[in-house]
Chains A and B, each alone.
Chain A
Amino acid sequence: MSFNLHKLLQKQKKNILELWMKNQLADEGLREDLISNEDLRSQSEELISSLVNNLTSSDMEDLDGDNWNPVIEILGGIAITRARQGFSPRETGRFVFSLKDALLSILQNEISDPKVLFEESGKISRVMDNLSIITFETFIKGREEVILRQTDEIAEISTPVIRVWDGILALPIIGTLDSSRTQIVMENLLQEIVETGSSIAILDISGVPAVDSLVAQHLIKTVSATRLMGAECIISGIRPEIAQTVVHLGIDLSNIITKASLATALAYAFKVLKLEVKRTTIIKN
């Protein structure tokens, strides 16, 4: 007598759902703040019905088959929304694993023959494990999408080029300098030099948290490119700890004009351009 798992599961669909819901609600890690119980129930119901439809014995083990697409889609959707809602990986995993527990305990109640029980449980286990892996992959993909979006947003925070005086540009750099960002900074700066005909550019790095040899390399590149354009580049805002790091790393900034603050850099720029800032005394009559 061949055992029909599919029929059994169809019959027991309601019981599985009840048991699973019970497991989920009893779980300490239930996140009622993120998802209401009704939503959880409808999610679970949808997943079970599409899962049971697929657990036919013929292609049960073949998760790449087209039959599994609806299940995988539902699971993927759940995983991605959970990633966005801020569920932890553990909580997302629990969702699938508790279903496995429910399925296995139903099988245990319904099948008396130990051999058949063992076989069928093995099948169910394998399928559910595969589904958990898929869930995790999708979950992580969802998280990565969030991270990528944030990275793009940060990159879009442009580095402004400010005209502080006729012929003097200032670039306050805030945040870490990586290769792509340096490229943007460099392009903006050179473009602005051409447009304004400025002969002095001040790179202010007081907003750069740390300078390592790579960042220093990028700075030196920017300064050299500015020089090729026929303008002078001053680096300002060098904090004591940055000066320490630069010297300890053995980076040679000796052929670059460095100033401690933007103010001193500006004063230097005025001197180069032969400009004078004077306080006028108002003569009272």
Chain B
Amino acid sequence: MGNFLLVTIQVDLYDRLALNLEADLVQMVSKTNARGVLIDISAVSIVDSFMGRIIGNIASMSKIMDAETVVVGMQPAVAITLIELGLPLKGVHTALNVERGMDLLKSMIGTTEEEPEEEDDDYLTE
């Protein structure tokens, strides 16, 4: 009964890494039957339009596979950049931090109060 996937992005994503993340995540969603995906981008300080699109894509793909996506911990500068780029990330739920993101997912999915299984995909540069 894996309910949620938790992705923590620890580095500024470059394009190849972002594409890998997209692929891995969708694979993971299908493998674990996750109902919710929580992406923590509190360590990301720079985004570009490509990155914004990837996040949007992940949300849309998860949606198709019956999972909700919540992006948490966005920095003010990142939010302003995305808005100026004209990417308001429609269809992506957002929350201030991981706890609130979790609460949001729980309330959306209406899950029972069991511990969610967490998959940490730490995208670190190697």
Contacts and interface: CB of A to CB of B under 8 A. Distances in A.
A193 B96 CA distance: 8
Contact of B82 (A186, A193, A197, A228): A228
Quick one: which of A190, A193, A221, A225 has the most chain B CB within 10 A? A225
B96 A228 contact: no
B83 A224 contact: yes
A197 B88 contact: no
Contacts of A229: 74, 76, 79, 94, 96
A228 B84 CA distance: 12
Given A228-B89, A230-B94, A199 B79 contact: no
A110 interface: no
B95 interface: yes
Q: Chain A interface secondary structure, helix, strand, loop or mixed? A: helix
B107 to A, nearest CB: 12
Contact of B72 (A186, A190, A224, A230): A230
A40 interface: no
A174 interface: no
Interface in B40-94: 71-76, 78-80, 82-84, 88-89, 94
B69 to A, nearest CB: 13
A197 B94 contact: no
Contact of A228 (B83, B100, B101): B83
B83 A230 contact: no
B96 A225 contact: no
A231 interface: yes
Contacts of A199: 96, 100
A193 B71 CA distance: 16
B97 A228 contact: no
A191 B76 contact: yes
A230 B72 CA distance: 7
Given A190-B80, A221-B83, A228 B72 contact: no
Interface of B: 71-76, 78-80, 82-84, 88-89, 94-97, 100-101
Interface of A: 183, 186-187, 190-191, 193-194, 197, 199, 221, 224-231
